[in-house]
Amino acid sequence: MQELFTQTFKSLGYDIEAKIVKSNQEADFQCDDCFKLAKVYHKSPLDIANEVVNKLKEVKDFDNYFKEVNVSAPGFINIIVSDKYICDNLNNLMTKEIFGSTKENHTIVVDYGGPNVAKPLHVGHLRPAIIGQAIYNILKYKGNKVIGDVHLGDIGTQMGQVIYGLLQDFPNTKPADIKITLDYLNDTYPKISALCKENEEVKNKCLEITKELQEGNKDYQILWQKICAISVQDIKRIYDYLDVHFDYWYGESDAHKQFKEMLAFMEKQHVIKIDDGAKIIDVKEKDDKIEMPPCLIQKSDGAYLYATSDLGTIWQRVKEFNPDEILYVVDGRQNMHFQQVFRAAKKSHIFEGVLQHHGNGTVNGPDNKPFKTRAGGTLKLEDLLKNVKEEFINLREENKRMDDEDIDKIVGAIIKFADLQNNLERNYIFDIKKFSEVNGKTGPYILYTYLRINKIISPNIKKLSSQIYSQTDRALRLKLLEVSEVLDLASKERRPHYIAEYLYELSVVANNFYQNNKVLGLTGVKQDDFNTILNFNNNIIKALLGLLGISIPKAM
Ligand code: ARG
């Protein structure tokens, strides 16, 4: 249709790629291009619109496309498409391998998750994991080669703190013989971390251990490996529960191995400056609206920084994956860090591709501030998940009798849909009650829609006839046709919320269809048509839920 409009414009001497958009008037679609053309060709938009519609009506297969095309002042073109057009397009879409209209073929690294070893995951780790995994799934679905890397924070000061704790608790045991448990870790890190805040001497000792560890102290490395093994196992357990999986479990320590080579390369580019004994890269640009501090590469005492780790990681990714793009799903409050790192990477020519930070917003408590426990501490992610599960089970008597695997799937749907329906940089208030409702813009509503339809369909899919049987039938079919555009947009902008929003809209029209049409006890073509439409509806829901990382329970 877009093409037909473009051709018609061109045949009248108007040079424009037509844009057909969804209409919120009486029509299905509309074209607003006449306003743009009016400025260029110094005519009234209304005259151009009439000219175009008259020309369109001369097209041989006009009736195949349209039920009606008319003009409304001051120059809109309103389009009501024919039933045949809708059915033909649906038949075509149903044979497609993927629902998006275009395939992509880029190599993209997605850096998401970003947990820190030796500390339990907390609420702040929820969004980077869920959004990152959804973006990963979407880009892969579109045909890209996608590489997911968790980027563990495995060599920061928390490591020095835990090792300090171990040296205190096991002063006479050889590092190789010290046994570390998860409980021990969970106690020790907060204990020593608190101690560092009051005791300068301990703090300095911990920093010293961290530095020696980074420089390769053998004893510390033995302990470090043990700590990593136990902590990472626990981190994996929780990501598994959320169905979040990574291709690579590289950490900052892997980046450290790249520093020598990378720094030598950077020196050759003459981008590194010495400032008060520290190595920095100046990343100011002349159009900057805010102050851009230099990117700190190495402190005067020789210690490397967070930015150095990210640059070393880019260096490694270029060597190993040669990506077109590296995308970071990390808390939006780290934006300045990433701007500095990206500029330093460009300036030193370690990577010429696209670097993008998708800074996520926070999960907030009822006070609209980042979520805390009642006592004011950070809430462990595991506790949040447990709370949601408990709330869901207590919501209705029937829920208590549900299959545990199904409950976990619903818990996943509640959390993920709540999260992904928000544009990723927005903060949102975590309201378990609201998110668990079966009515409203929630995960359970989408699941319920799917399961209800699933009960009455048979897998016997036929080619659709050209007939549409009611307004609600028509509305559902038009909505189904939107799927390609939605997928293209979500993938192009790397924003899963478009898919969540569409899933909700689709569920609303699907429920309307179900309520307003007799779908059971039919025979003949009508039965086949309805069965096929509902099958297609559920195929789309299932595929899109899958992209959002949401699994469907057997029943609810
Ligand atoms: N571990 C970091 C933190 O807790 C997040 C890592 C994000 N990813 C990155 N490439 N910097 O703040």
Q: 223: CA distance to ligand 1 center in Å?
A: 23
Q: Last residue of some domain: 217, 241, 265?
A: 241
pLDDT of residue 102: 81
Q: 128: CA distance to ligand 1 center in Å?
A: 10
| Ligand 1 atom 5, closest CA | 114
Q: Give the torsion through C-alpha atoms of 333, 335, 341, 346, to 10 deg.
A: 170
Per-residue pLDDT tens digits for 65-121: 999 999 999 999 999 999 999 999 999 999 988 887 788 999 999 999 999 999 999
User: For ligand 1, is residue 124 a contact (CB within 6 Å)?
Assistant: no
Do 269 and 209 have their domain in common?
Answer: no
- The number of beta carbons lying within 10 Å of the beta carbon of residue 384 is 21
Residue 523, Cβ density class (10 Å: 0-12 exposed, 13-18 middle, ≥19 buried): exposed
One-character DSSP codes across 498-541: HHHHHHHHHHHHHHHHHHHS--SS--HHHHHHHHHHHHHHHHHH
Q: Last residue of some domain: 241, 261, 280?
A: 241
Q: 3-class DSSP state for residue 48?
A: helix
Do 42 and 113 have their domain in common?
Answer: no
| Ligand 1 atom 8, closest CA | 114
Per the structure, how many domains does the chain have? Answer: 3
Q: Are strands 272-275 and 278-281 parallel, antiparallel or unpaired?
A: antiparallel
Q: 487: CA distance to ligand 1 center in Å?
A: 28
**442: in domain:** no
User: For ligand 1, is residue 326 a contact (CB within 6 Å)?
Assistant: no
Q: 125: CA distance to ligand 1 center in Å?
A: 10
The full length of the chain comes to 556
Tokens 């980077």 — which residue? 128
Q: pLDDT category, 377, cuts 50, 70, 90?
A: confident
User: For ligand 1, is residue 156 a contact (CB within 6 Å)?
Assistant: no
pLDDT of residue 39: 95
User: For ligand 1, is residue 151 a contact (CB within 6 Å)?
Assistant: yes
3-state secondary structure 218-236: HHHHHHHHHHHHHHHHHHH
Q: Last residue of some domain: 81, 98, 116?
A: 81
User: For ligand 1, is residue 114 a contact (CB within 6 Å)?
Assistant: yes
Do 208 and 333 have their domain in common?
Answer: no
Sheet strands side by side (includes 278-281): 272-275, 278-281, 295-298
Q: H helices within 58-151, ranges in order?
A: 62-65, 83-94, 126-141
As a whole number of angstroms, the distance between CA 166 and CA 188 comes to 8
pLDDT of residue 302: 87
User: For ligand 1, is residue 111 a contact (CB within 6 Å)?
Assistant: yes
Per-residue pLDDT tens digits for 478-500: 999 999 999 999 999 999 999 99
Give me the mean pLDDT over the 113-136 stretch.
Answer: 96
User: For ligand 1, is residue 310 a contact (CB within 6 Å)?
Assistant: yes
Name the nearest CA neighbour of 125 among 137, 134, 116. Answer: 116
Do 161 and 295 have their domain in common?
Answer: no
User: For ligand 1, is residue 330 a contact (CB within 6 Å)?
Assistant: yes
**What are the structure tokens assigned to 489, written together?**
């947009």
Q: Is the dihedral angle over the CA atoms 486, 491, 497, 499 positive or is it negative?
A: positive
3-state secondary structure 355-370: EEEEEECCEECCCCCE
pLDDT of residue 289: 93
**The domain containing residue 224 runs over which residues?**
157-241
Pocket test for ligand 1, best of 127, 330, 335, 340 (most atoms within 8 A of CB): 330
Do 61 and 199 have their domain in common?
Answer: no
As a whole number of angstroms, the distance between CA 114 and CA 135 comes to 15
pLDDT of residue 175: 95
With contact defined as beta carbons under 8 Å apart, do 239 and 125 qualify? no
Q: 420 pLDDT exceeds 90?
A: yes
**533: in domain:** no
**301: in domain:** yes
Do 251 and 335 have their domain in common?
Answer: yes
Question: What are the two backbone dihedrals, phi and then psi, of residue 508, each rounded to the nearest 5 degrees?
Answer: -65, -50
**Amino acid (1-letter code) at residue 543:** A
Q: 335: CA distance to ligand 1 center in Å?
A: 11
Q: 3-class DSSP state for residue 484?
A: helix
Do 258 and 341 have their domain in common?
Answer: yes
With contact defined as beta carbons under 8 Å apart, do 325 and 108 qualify? yes
Do 72 and 169 have their domain in common?
Answer: no
**283: in domain:** yes
User: Which CATH number fits the domain that encloses residue 22?
Assistant: 3.30.1360.70
With contact defined as beta carbons under 8 Å apart, do 287 and 370 qualify? no
**How many angstroms from the chain centroid is the CA of residue 123?**
17
Ligand 1 atom nearest to CA at 310: 10
pLDDT of residue 303: 86
With contact defined as beta carbons under 8 Å apart, do 135 and 494 qualify? yes
Do 129 and 272 have their domain in common?
Answer: yes
Do 127 and 21 have their domain in common?
Answer: no
Do 13 and 111 have their domain in common?
Answer: no
Q: 180 pLDDT exceeds 90?
A: yes
- The number of beta carbons lying within 10 Å of the beta carbon of residue 293 is 11
Q: 305 pLDDT exceeds 90?
A: yes
Angle at 237 between CA 231 and CA 241, to 5 degrees: 150
Could you tell me the pTM of the whole model?
0.95
Residue 547, CA atoms < 13 Å, CB-side half-sphere = 28
**What are the structure tokens assigned to 190, written together?**
């907060």
**149: in domain:** yes
**What are the structure tokens assigned to 455, written together?**
């009960």
DSSP state of 379: P
User: Which CATH number fits the domain that encloses residue 348?
Assistant: 3.40.50.620
Per-residue pLDDT tens digits for 506-527: 999 999 999 999 999 999 999 9
**380: in domain:** no
**320: in domain:** yes
Residue 231, Cβ density class (10 Å: 0-12 exposed, 13-18 middle, ≥19 buried): buried
Q: 485: CA distance to ligand 1 center in Å?
A: 33
**387: in domain:** no
Do 258 and 340 have their domain in common?
Answer: yes
Q: pLDDT category, 141, cuts 50, 70, 90?
A: very high
Q: 115: CA distance to ligand 1 center in Å?
A: 7
pLDDT of residue 24: 81
- Average of per-residue pLDDT values in the chain: 95
